[in-house]
Structure 1
């Protein structure tokens, strides 16, 4: 029997109602983390004007969260393994909700970015615990696939709720409400966790935590993102851009050395990369994250800055994106995974997404919603729905139970790193002369063209995954 209470109880025959409670709590936390990303995206133009961000620096409202999230996710996974999933889950929940309160009350751009970074730290502690609870509670095969499909679908639904709520809150209250809304949600989830989730027992031997590795990873990724962002403003040869890229590279090299030689309990056990589904799957996840996460950023700016949509209308415009992704991801994909090789689903989904993003890159100021937003959304959302669950399943399959937290953290890290660095690079692609709606839209369209190319690369990488089909 597994040592932790949740996994052990499920493995011993936890009742259907109790299993559903475990799934509900994990999904609720994932919903909140994703809600926060999309809520802030819709509010970007408003908070930019209120706190005087410029066109390039506003990306740090997104990237401060994403980079801290990515850098500490692996440590968060190890914390869950070492100190107990429920305890770490609650710790992350409190930190995330408290940072949301500070961000919602921030009076300066600097304080907001710092609060967003603190939110990312809380999310890094919280998110791996949600996925680890699922992967240790449900055995590989149909049961885990259905749980992961629900977890993925709820995460996507968080994007929809964030878009809708973000638009309404920004337009009718304030951009501050988009952060403050996390406080009551966090309180409700905390109460449900304390009352209904069984406290688990961590292992008797607790490995030393690799805090040095986590700091080096976060600082290195931040340096790279800063260097790319500076290149968008001043060019790739600018001293600030070169310094950021060099410092980031050196710190990441130091991180690799610490993990390989000195860390008593490395954040990334090198043995994970001997599992082909994990190593290849994380490459695909990195590239997909570089597309699917920044997509919300550029679509928001396209609709509000170029097409003059209000925040509320922008939120409603995003509804079909998520509805299609959820329906395909939660209903069609689990069934398809029992009949079709997972790598084929990822490749087909990636190519469909590429076609949708290529269509999106042809948006014009005079485009109607039907042809300019809805049409591309249906195509790339079907593709996204097809590939999300198979990738998540691939990178968490074949992993020994003691490494489940590390594998979950690695997957989330890869996705967030891809999103943060992808956004930083795509902002340089979307930087150009002119400030009018047509010029801005041309810049955003270049970003969507680049996203389409990257999605084709995801399809190619997917073919290197091992053959996999769920057991009937």
Structure 2
């Protein structure tokens, strides 16, 4: 082996180890949400939360996390993605200690908000670092597949982890467990992640733009998770705050169109695939919340599963998604192109949601749940790595952090919309059926069925966008410039799909 080849092998190994470090950081952030959800009853009993107050243990985190993702991604481009990632790990780890030691409701909610800040800083820049570390082609497709699996399947792993930690020890350890993971990840990241320097803030930072978009996103997430969920979409508070969030968003767009050094250069939205991929992300994640959230409630309240059993119920889908994302999807993307892999994957996700619309009050796991898990595992394992690839394809290197933050932001907004809409519809339908004299199990199932129908509609809308908006790209094109003309076979497949639509 020559010295040059040995150095190249070492560099390749270092990149893949660095990817593992990044994904461990992402997994820690993703796990946090579902781990906390499992432990909420224990937290409520220990600290004396009311039902309304308990929601803020989740909402405080979501507001900070969803509101800061876009800003965090852009800061990575301007300052240093590695630096923003490490800063996020530090904030997340320290705030996890504060959460675990929290002696009161107020301290826990405040610490959860700070934890959301750390989560946003950590996760917003990861995809941007991946596409700059791995060259376009097979390696990058595989790396994005690993990231997509961690980002999408981590929630179901969190159900298992939360059940084990809460039952075996106590709720404090769902936060303390982050401390050794965060420290080890930070040490390895310092050694393995390449140092980078952003474009810099010397030309002037768009402070006004940062304030506008952060306030708009935080207000939007708050509106979705609080007044919309509590009082309904037509309530004056919901409409007023929603209108204010949209007005701030419009002011941000106007500011970015005229700013000398915009926080978010609007050129990124010239890419049809970037816009389409983010729209698909909003719709599909909103629909998938129906499967995870309503599926969990169905297993818990109708089939009477405990936290551990719920986590195990989602495991087949997680394993299938992992097997495809880590071993096969990258090869499919290189062979057929990201778009032509994503579309069939979304069809299978729609199939999973359609299966869930048929759940029954006296259902069984094998008949009512397992087939949907299998469909979702295969569909998600192919669709979401391809979606991440399309979201980053053709993006200029200096905008990679922004594109990474954007696709994460649309996922959070989609999740918040899905949770607010589906939970409200499900609860309203269940109350109506109860008033009509239906048994509790039947009424709850009727509410979940309606939620799954709406979730299916959202997923079908995502599929329609994928067929009509997304254009095929060359598998070797990714962040770093415009995509070259796709091969003739892929153009023929694109025309065939369009005709089918």
- 1:164 is displaced (CA, Å) by 1.4
- 439-448 or 265-274, which deviates more: 439-448
Q: 1:307 aligns with which of 288, 303, 307?
A: 303
Partner of 2:450: 446
Q: Which residue of 2 aligns with 1:115?
A: 111
**Deviation for aligned residue 1:225:** 4.3
Partner Cα distance (2:321, 2:343) in 1: 16
Q: CA deviation at 1:63?
A: 4.3
2:404 maps to 1:403 = no
Q: Equivalent residue for 1:245?
A: 242
**Is the counterpart of residue 258 in structure 1 residue 251 in structure 2?**
no
Relative distance call for 1:12 and 1:459 in structure 2 (3 A) is: same
8 A Cα contact 2:67 2:221, kept in partner: no
- Residue-by-residue CA offset, 1:84-121 (whole Å, 9 max, x unaligned): 22222110001111222223334555544433332221
Q: Aligned-pair distance for 1:237? A: 4.1
Q: In 2, distance between residues paired with 1:428 and 1:208?
A: 44
2:280·2:462 contact (CA, 8 Å) conserved in 1?
Answer: yes
Contact 1:43 1:166 in 2 (8 A): yes
Residues paired across the two proteins, number: 460
* Matches of 2:171 and 2:443, distance apart in 1: 26
Tell me which residue corresponds to 1:5: none
Distance 1:151 1:163, change over 3 A: same
Which one has a bigger Cα radius of gyration? 2
Match runs of 1:384-423 below 5 Å: 384-423=380-419
- Label 1:114 to 1:445 Cα distance change in 2 as closer, same or farther (>3 A): farther
RMSD of aligned residue pairs (Cα, Å): 2.7
Q: Structure 1 residues 141 and 448 mapped into 2: Cα distance closer, same or farther (>3 Å)? A: same
Write the distance in 2 (CA, Å) between the matches of 1:169 and 1:182: 12
Instruction: Tell me the residue number matched to 1:466.
Output: 471
Contact kept? 2:66, 2:221, Cα under 8 Å: no
Is 1:223 matched with 2:219? yes
Q: Distance in 2 between matches of 1:341 and 1:177?
A: 43
Q: 3-state SS of the aligned residue for 1:363?
A: coil
2:347 corresponding residue in structure 1: 351
CA–CA separation in structure 2 for the residues paired with 1:293 and 1:97: 27
Structure 1, residues 366-394: CA drift from partner, whole Å, max 9, x if none?
21121222221111221111110111000
Deviation readout 1:110-166 (Å, 9 max, x if unpaired): 544433332221121111332222111112221211111122223345334312111
Q: Paired residue for 1:129, among 122, 125, 131? A: 125
Task: Label 1:358 to 1:239 Cα distance change in 2 as closer, same or farther (>3 A).
Answer: same
Deviation track 1:388-408 (CA, whole Å, cap 9, x = no partner) reads 011100010111111111111
* Farther off after superposition, 379-388 or 32-41: 32-41
Q: Which residue of 2 aligns with 1:8?
A: none
- For residue 234 of structure 1, the aligned residue among 231, 250, 262 is 231
* SS state at 2:336 partner: coil
In the other structure, the counterpart of 1:154 is 150
**Contact in 2 for aligned 1:349/1:385 (Cα 8 Å):** yes
- Give the C-alpha shift of residue 278 in structure 1: 1.0
Extract unaligned runs of 5+ from structure 1.
1-10
Tell me how far apart the structure 1 counterparts of residues 379 and 85 of structure 2 sit (CA, whole Å): 32
The separation in 1 between residues aligned to 2:232 and 2:23, in whole angstroms, is: 42
Larger deviation: 450-459 or 70-79?
70-79
Measured in 2, the distance between the counterparts of 1:269 and 1:424 equals: 31
Pairwise CA distance, 1:469: 4.5
Q: Is the 1:284–1:461 contact (alpha carbons within 8 Å) kept by the matching residues of 2?
A: yes
CA distance in structure 2 between the partners assigned to 1:328 and 1:430 by the alignment: 32
Aligned residues of 1:38 and 1:296 also touching (Cα < 8 A): no
Using the alignment, how far apart are the partners of 1:410 and 1:449 within structure 2? 28
Question: CA 1:243–1:93 in 2, change beyond 3 Å: closer, same or farther?
Answer: same
Structure 1 CA distance for aligned equivalents of residues 351 and 53 of structure 2: 30
Gaps in structure 2 of 5+ consecutive residues: 1-6, 477-486, 488-501
Which of the residues 27, 44, 47 maps onto 2:23? 27
> TM-score, with normalisation over the residues of structure 1?
0.88
Choose 16-25 or 450-459, whichever is displaced more. 16-25
- Correspondent of 2:270 among 266, 270, 274: 274
SS in 2 for 1:399: coil
TM-score scaled by structure 2? 0.84
Tell me the SS of whatever aligns to 1:367: coil
